[in-house]
Structure formats: C-alpha cells, structure tokens
Amino acid sequence: MSLLISGLITGAVFAIAASGLVVTYSTSGIFNFAHGALGMFCAYVYWDVRVNHHVAAPIALGVVLLVVAPLLGAFLYRVVVSGLQGTSEIVKLVVPISVLLGLISLANWIWKPIEPHTIQPFFGADHSVKVFGTVILWHELAILLVAAGLALSLRLLLYRTRTGVAMRAVVDDRPLLELNGGRPERASLVSWMLGVSLSALAGILITPFQGGALSSTLLTLLVINAFAAAMFGRLRNLPLTFVGAVVLGFATRMAFERPTGLMPKSFDWRGNLRLAVPMLILFVVLLALPQDRLRGAVVTRSRERFSLPSMREALVSGACFVVAIFLLSRIMAPTALLTLSDAVAAAIILLSLVLLVGYAGEISLATMALAGIGGTVFYHHVGHGTDSRAGLMAYVMAMLATALVGAAMALPALRLRGLYLALATAAFSLGAEQLLFKEFTAQRRIYPVTLIVLLVLGATAAWMAWRSRGWPSVAVVGGVVAVVFVVAATNPWLQEERWSPLFPNGNLQVPRPRLLGIDFAPQANFLLLLSTVFAVLGVGLIALRRSGYGRRLAALKDSPAACATLGMDVVRLKLSVFMLSAALAGLGGCLLAQEYGAVTGDRFSLFESMSMLMLLVVAGMGYVSGGFAAGLLYGGVFVTIQALFTKLGVDYPAFAEPLKWLSQFTSVMPALIGVSLGRNPSGFLHDSYKDWGLIIRERTTVFFAGVAVELGAWLLAFQHVIGNWPFALFTMAWVLVLPRFAPGPPREVSTPVELIGIDRPFTPADKVEIDRRLAISEGTPA
C-alpha cells in the first residue's frame, strides 16, 4: 500500500508539470524544453524568499506562483517565443533549449551549488496522517489535493471561460480566431504565464518529496520526466496526460523503490534504472503512438538559407585550415594548445550533427551519448599498459559499434520527425547516461542491464516492422538481435565474475595513438592529427552533399512525402544517415576521450548534447565550418574569456568585483546567443560568407594583402617580438575588419528571382528585371 500511495503522489506531481507543458504547447506550437528549468529556477526563488528573506511559506508561495512565474512566462513569450514565426522546427526546438541551459547556468551563478539549499515540507515533517496503515505527510496529501483541484480548474478554464475557449481556438485555427475578433497573441501569452506557474508549482512540491535538497540539474531532470506523461495525451489531451502521469508515477515507484519494490533485490542496478524509467517509457510511447510517416514536411518556406561550396573551395579551405592550425601550434602556450585541441575534438563530433541536422533535417539530442559509447568501445579495444597505444582497428570497432547503436536509435526516425524525434533521442540519451555511464557496484551487473536494453530495442524493431507491414529488413534484424541476446543472457560464460565493469572507478584511461610510426602523445602532434581528421571529414561531407546521396538528403529535408512519391526508399535513407552520423560521433568520441585522457560519464550527458546542438545552429548548421565555429565556442572561446576575466581580477584587485561578475556572466553567454537565434536562423556564419566571398572574388588584391599582413604578425609572434595576446587581438580584428575594405555593396544578382521577397525585400530594380524576364513591356496590357 505504501508503494501505491507513493506512486500516486509522484504521478500527481508529474501531472501538475505535464499539464503546464500541454497548455503552452497547445496554444503556441512551441514545445517548451525549458519547462523543467523554469520549475527549478522558481523553486530556488521560493527558497530564497522563504529562507533568506524570512517570509512565511504561504506568502512566499503566492509571490512565486502569482508574480514571479507569470512575469517570467510573459517575458519569455514576448521576447523569445513570439520571434520564432517563420523558422524551421529545429530552430523552434533549439531556442527553448538555450533558455534551459541559460536558466541552469543562472541558477548556479546566483545560488552556489556547493552551498546547501533545502525546502522543508509544507506543514512540517511531523504533521502526518495514517491511510490504510501508511503514514502520509500533510505535504504529500496536499500534492494529491492540488493535482485533483488543478485537473478540475483546468477543465473549467478551457471549456467554461472565454479565455479558455480562445486558447483552444488558437490550436484549431489561428487565422479563423483572428477573423472572429479574437486575440491569439493574448491567448498564447496567458497560456505561457499559466504554464510557467504550473512548472513552478511542480518544482516546489516535488523537492521536499524527493529529499528536500535543491539541485539545478537534478530538479530540471525531475520535471523533464513529465514529458512522458505529456506524450500520453499527445500534447493535446489533458485527461490522458493525467492518466499518463499516474502510470509514470506507479512505474517509477512500485517496480524499483528500495527496499520493497517489485524487482528482485539482487538487481543492484535498479536505482539507475528507476531514474531512466520515465525516459524509457517516453521512448516506447513515441513508438506506439500513431503517427503519419510522411507528415512533417515544410509547408511554408523557412528563413534559413545555406550556400554550398564547390569541391575546389572545399579542398583549398581544408588545406588552409591544417596549415593555419600548424602555424598556430608553433607559437601557442601549452594551455592554449590544450584549449584549441579540445575545440577541434568537439568540432569533429559536431560534424555528425552537420550531416544529420544540417543536411538531412533530422534532429538528435543524443550526440554525446553516441560519442561516449564510441569512447567506451574504444577503451575496451586498446591495451592498458604503460606503453600502450591506440591502433586503427580500435577506431574501426568504435565506429562500427556506434553505427549499430545509431541504427537502433533510428527506430523512431523511421516514423517520426521534428519534435517527436527530438524527444525520442533525448530519451535515448538519458537512458544511456543512467544505464551505461553510471558506475555499478557489482562487476557483472552491467551485462544484464545491457542485455535488457538491447532486448527491448530488438523487440521494438520487430514489433514496429510487424505493425507497419512494410519493413521486412527491420523485422529480420530485430528478430535476430532478440534471439542472439536471449541466448547470450542464458549463457553461463557471460555470468562469470572475471568480467570487468564498463566504467571501473568511474572513468576509463584512454591512451593516445601511434600511427604510421608517429607518436601522437605530444600535444602539438595530437592537435595536428585532430585538425587533419577534421579537414578530411569536412571535405568528405561536402563531397557527400554534392553527390546524388546528398541531393536525396536535401529532398528528404524538404519533403519526405515528395521523396516517397518519387519512389525513394525513405526508410533506408533515414537509417543510413543516422548510422553515418553515429559513426562520425563515435570517432569524435574516441578522439575527445584521448584529448581529455579519459572517458567519464559526466562529459556525455544530455545537457552536453543540447549545448552542442544549440551552438551548431547558432553558428550555421548547414556549414562544415559551422561545426568548427561551434567547437570553438564549446571548447575554447567561453573558457578563454572566463579565464581572462579571472586573471585580470587577480592582476587588478581594484576591479576584482566587476571582473568577477563578468567572469560569471560568461557562463550565461552561450544561452543568450542561442536565444537570439530567432533573428538570424541561418547562423552568424551565413552573413560572414557573403562578406568574405565578395572580397575573395571581387577584391583579390585586398584579400592577399590582408593575408600577408596576418603572416607578418605571426612571424613577429614566432620571433617573440610581440606576445600571443596582442597577436590574438590583432587576428580577431583582422577577421572582422578585412571584409569591410571591399568598396561597394554586394551584388544583388546572387539572389534567385523566385526568392526575392523571401531572402530580401523587393526593390524597383527587381520589378524591371522581372518584367524583362517575362517579356512584359511598359504598355503591354494585362
């Protein structure tokens, strides 16, 4: 009975959080990935008002739910959400992810994680009642009453009030609501204010129930678990959402709660599995819900535009990139070499997203999970002695393994697109984080966990193939996988104690390679290896994009329905691009692990995948150089800026406080850049390409003169005439200022006629040009 009541209470909290998510999505069409972070931030605000300002609990709760949370929701809608009209679905997902990451950084900045922050239960821990012999705190009873009251209140709001009817009308037909005198903007604004308040309520209520200690990441994930409940109602149906929340609460409590759960006590990994259950349920629900496989094509033109370089430009750019990295490595300090190596290793992982997101239009939030799997497989295929070095076969095995895992992860992609695919890959990432990257106490317990996960994937593949009646290859693969792992699970050889865990001591020490007689253990050599790998992969991606396969990917991005109509095998195309992307992520994970020196689970979390996707879209997801720019932002730029402000604070004590503030503000800068994405959805590299292309093609003399000046500055730094910081500042100024030396505006003929009015406004010259092309003279009658 205690487990039943505990599961019901957990389900009630999930219902409160999920209802807010459904309200915001159903009225604005934007899935609020920051829903959990908003609840976490408001919970911290409640703690601050309650503890630091000594305000009574009811007043503090009213301040947060009636003032802070609605204002925060209104601010997000007006400043962030309303500017996402006309952007692609990827941008609409990345901007809320930026808000999520920004709120986590802001909470860690304001409320230091090393300091304790505890929320006590309402009415105290000594006020309780007995129900069927089970002790229930008044706080837990309040959760049940609030959930029940909320369900009734939302029903009355949506069906008995003018505001609620307008909110539902926004979902059904926004233009029709406007024609009838409605105000859809106001209805969406009210829904976001209400949704953030419900998220805040869930965060405040669940914290005492989970132990009372506030944690920015854990609390965010707890509220994110409500995504599975929201998907029960397909983000539309509130009653089904509440049912899904109750099912989710029972599943997480009754099966895995210690010490009276239903799972056997010998399963010492069930604590990790309990944390992964909501995401596993979300994964299964997304596969089970009926979804038209051919929907999700772009109905209206989005504002993203990407240009494709020629193969000559790609080869020259790749060679210049390797030469530039080599020259920089000759003058950089050891710490700077490490930072640049981190950035290039991250950029190699980001190339997998360029292929998947930029070229194919698919979404993945499991990039770092795949990279972590690649690094783990790589570790188990190299020697671990003092003189051990990685060989080519270890890289090949890691790429093959991650390609197969990518095929399993692609199961939702065969049916889903957009938001649903993003949620499925996020569920996969969290499941891998809990089941693969966590340290287990018993050595052989990892193998039953892995077998169960792979069995579920194999059975799911077979079930999907049977249901769709059109994927015999997937059915065969799923059946073979299931049979193989059933045999493996019953094989006593796999149960021997001699097996070691995947993560002994929480990390895996990975040696650097020795290839073709060259030892890449020195940092400068390894940086050159990383840059060469990035250049080769980048040129290969551009060649792939210009091939027939790449054109099919572009068609798939525009309209899967049209691809199927033209006879393309959409299933095979999606499966192949996911496997290729996963293999690239696995290779990048190997190199990143070698750069760090070890594989650790915290480096391959869902939040890291979100950060990478956000930075790539900000830079330009359709460009190979966008992967490098995002890698620089991820592994180098913000870290360097923060270290610079910290050093200046030490050197100049009089300015220590403002410099400390700037150093901490750096942690929020990536999110602020992501939030501004709605104004330039093509990324900041798009405009830079136009300027640099103009000066290279039209002002070649100016360009080569600038290159000569930059080489002269490098020579001065190499001879120690100037320091590295002056050289770095000069290089940044050179990159920003040189395109401005090209006189005259860029030529407008680069814009196709059919895109005039979309890429840029019409001009009188455009009218003359269109008339000329249509052979219409001044006096021609209509």
Taking Cα atoms as reference points, which of 647, 670, 593, 105 lies closest to residue 368? 593
Residue position matching structure tokens 């930029």: 358
pLDDT of residue 171: 65
Taking Cα atoms as reference points, which of 389, 349, 601 lies closest to residue 510? 389
Taking Cα atoms as reference points, which of 65, 22, 76, 15 lies closest to residue 43? 65
Cα 94 to Cα 547: distance, rounded to the nearest angstrom: 29
Q: What is the mean pLDDT of the chain?
A: 76
Q: Which residues pair with 134 in a beta bridge?
A: 131
More reliable by pLDDT, 648 or 224: 648
Cα 269 to Cα 434: distance, rounded to the nearest angstrom: 10
Judged on CB neighbours under 10 Å (0-12, 13-18, 19+), 702 is middle
pLDDT tens-digit series, residues 50-63: 888 888 888 998 99
Contact 52, 196 (CB under 8 A): no
Residue position matching structure tokens 């993560």: 503
pLDDT of residue 67: 92
pLDDT of residue 289: 63
Residue 667 has pLDDT above 80, yes or no: no
Q: Give mean pLDDT, residues 430-443.
A: 63
Cα 629 to Cα 612: distance, rounded to the nearest angstrom: 11
More reliable by pLDDT, 709 or 9: 709
Residue 397: how many CB atoms within 10 A of its CB? 18
Residue 294 has pLDDT above 60, yes or no: no
pLDDT tens-digit series, residues 589-599: 989 988 887 77
Taking Cα atoms as reference points, which of 373, 308, 399 lies closest to residue 581? 399
The DSSP element (H or E) to which 599 belongs, if any, is strand 598-600
CA atoms within 13 A on the CB side of 556: 33
Tokens matching residue 471 = 């994927």
Q: Which residues pair with 509 in a beta bridge?
A: 598
Instruction: Give the model's confidence band at 782: pLDDT under 50 very low, under 70 low, under 90 confident, else very high.
Output: very low
DSSP characters over 466-515: HHHS--HHHHHHHHHHHHHHHHHHT-GGGG-TTPPPSSGGGEEE-PPBEE
More reliable by pLDDT, 132 or 405: 405
The DSSP element (H or E) to which 518 belongs, if any, is strand 518-519
Instruction: Give the model's confidence band at 534: pLDDT under 50 very low, under 70 low, under 90 confident, else very high.
Output: very high
Cα 627 to Cα 401: distance, rounded to the nearest angstrom: 23
pLDDT of residue 24: 80
Residue 162 has pLDDT above 70, yes or no: yes
Judged on CB neighbours under 10 Å (0-12, 13-18, 19+), 266 is exposed
Bond preceding residue 259 cis, omega within 30 of 0: yes
Residue 7: how many CB atoms within 10 A of its CB? 21
Q: Give mean pLDDT, residues 539-547.
A: 92
Tokens matching residue 59 = 């007043």
pLDDT tens-digit series, residues 19-50: 888 888 877 777 888 888 888 899 899 988 98
Taking Cα atoms as reference points, which of 607, 626, 624, 605 lies closest to residue 616? 626
Residue 603's contacts (CB-CB under 8 Å, 6 or more residues apart) are 368, 372, 592, 596
More reliable by pLDDT, 578 or 251: 578
Residue 635 has pLDDT above 60, yes or no: yes
Residue 56's contacts (CB-CB under 8 Å, 6 or more residues apart) are none
CA dist list (Å): 417 to 176, 294, 550, 640: 27, 9, 19, 37
pTM of the model: 0.80
DSSP code for 443: G
DSSP code for 722: S
DSSP code for 260: T
Residue 676 has pLDDT above 80, yes or no: no
| H helices present in 84-137, as ranges | 89-110
Residue 483's contacts (CB-CB under 8 Å, 6 or more residues apart) are none
Cα 711 to Cα 708: distance, rounded to the nearest angstrom: 5
Q: Give mean pLDDT, residues 647-672.
A: 80
Residue 8: how many CB atoms within 10 A of its CB? 18
Residue 300 has pLDDT above 50, yes or no: no
